[in-house]
């Protein structure tokens, strides 16, 4: 009996110790000070401070869904950039490609449109990592489907033109005068595995193909590379003509 009593008392003591450890005292001042500069700036409505935060903070805390909510789906001809174009990705599948494309768009102040369904979520880690802290410097608009984007496009003022990049095009990218870019061009790119659907190519004002050496085992370029080639050729022509 004495042994049992001792065991019971020890068990009771251990339970009291566990209960005490489950209710720690929280230092609220210290907890508040651990908020990242980006989150703190956003809560205070200070966008300047948010842009000045480190890349690591912006990459870890800045949410692309904020950009899609705040992004202005403006016509390319209304863009303040030197080259007045826009990029549209129709059903992109690989987050790393889309993130790299966002960096290209940010470098040239080109608006980026994403047409669902997407092969990833907007908070995908790979998407954020590929775009680094450039996401907050590119205007992003997300559309539920092609018809929704087309409805918005039809309301844009002139000049405007849909330019599709596809391996099925007759014109090569560097053919002149057929492949001459102009203000208001909207560059369309399809999914990595399927390209642009036929009905979208049919609605395009111009279809272009990036030249490649004919090889049976090399079918296409990486999507992010294709977008960079198209964007910078448009930039080159714009600067040359102006």
pLDDT, tens only, 148-184:
999 999 999 999 999 999 999 988 998 877 788 999 9
Q: Which of 10, 44, 62 is the last residue of a domain?
A: 62
Cis-peptide, bond into residue 117, ω within 30° of zero:
yes
**CATH number of the CATH domain containing 142:** 3.40.1280.10
**One domain for residues 100 and 154:** yes
**One domain for residues 152 and 40:** no
By residue range, what is the domain housing residue 209? 70-241
* Number of domains the chain contains: 2
**One domain for residues 58 and 126:** no
- Does residue 204 lie in a domain region? yes
Query: What digits encode the pLDDT tens for the residues 42-78?
Result: 334 433 333 322 223 333 444 566 555 545 568 898 8
Query: What pLDDT is recorded for position 190?
Result: 96
- Does residue 21 lie in a domain region? no
Q: Say which residue, 6 or 228, is predicted with more confidence.
A: 228
Q: Say which residue, 27 or 91, is predicted with more confidence.
A: 91
- Does residue 14 lie in a domain region? no
- Does residue 13 lie in a domain region? no
188 neighbors 163 (Cβ within 8 angstroms): yes
**One domain for residues 149 and 205:** yes
- Residue where the block lists tokens 């590929």: 130
Query: What digits encode the pLDDT tens for the residues 182-232?
Result: 999 999 999 999 999 999 999 999 999 999 888 778 878 999 999 999 999
- Does residue 165 lie in a domain region? yes
**One domain for residues 43 and 161:** no
- Does residue 5 lie in a domain region? no
- Does residue 19 lie in a domain region? no
Token couple for 16: 């009291």
**One domain for residues 38 and 88:** no
Q: Which of 62, 83, 114 is the last residue of a domain?
A: 62
**One domain for residues 98 and 196:** yes
**One domain for residues 158 and 54:** no
- Does residue 173 lie in a domain region? yes
Query: What pLDDT is recorded for position 85?
Result: 94
**One domain for residues 115 and 222:** yes
Q: Which of 15, 39, 62 is the last residue of a domain?
A: 62
**One domain for residues 137 and 35:** no
- Minimum mean pLDDT range among 1-15, 31-45, 113-127: 31-45
**One domain for residues 34 and 138:** no
> DSSP secondary structure string, 2-57?
HHHHHHHHHHHHHHHHHHHHTSPPP-HHHHHHTS-HHHHHHHHT-HHHHHTS-HHH
Q: Where are the strands (E) in the chain, listed by range?
A: 86-90, 111-115, 140-143, 161-165, 171-172, 185-189, 206-209
């Amino acid at each position: 009996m004495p042994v049992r009593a001792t065991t019971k008392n020890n068990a009771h003591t251990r339970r009291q110790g566990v209960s005490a450890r489950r209710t720690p005292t929280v230092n609220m001042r210290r907890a508040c000070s651990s908020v990242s500069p980006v989150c703190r700036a956003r809560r205070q409505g200070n966008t300047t401070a948010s842009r000045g935060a480190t890349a690591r903070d912006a990459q870890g805390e800045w949410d692309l869904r904020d950009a899609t909510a705040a992004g202005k789906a403006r016509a390319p001809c209304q863009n303040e950039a030197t080259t007045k174009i826009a990029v549209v990705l129709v059903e992109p599948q690989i987050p790393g490609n889309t993130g790299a494309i966002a960096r290209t768009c940010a470098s040239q102040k080109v608006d980026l449109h994403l047409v669902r369904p997407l092969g990833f979520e907007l908070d995908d880690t790979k998407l954020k990592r590929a775009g680094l802290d450039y996401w907050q410097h590119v205007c992003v608009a997300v559309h539920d489907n092609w018809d929704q984007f087309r409805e918005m496009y039809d309301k844009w003022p002139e000049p405007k033109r849909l330019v599709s990049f596809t391996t099925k095009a007759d014109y090569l990218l560097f053919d002149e005068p057929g492949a001459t870019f102009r203000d208001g061009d909207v560059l369309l790119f399809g999914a990595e595995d399927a390209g642009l659907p036929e009905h979208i190519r049919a609605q395009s004002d111009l279809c272009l193909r990036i030249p490649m050496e004919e090889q049976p085992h090399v079918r296409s370029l990486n999507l992010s590379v294709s977008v960079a080639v198209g964007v910078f050729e448009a930039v080159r022509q714009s600067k040359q003509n102006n």
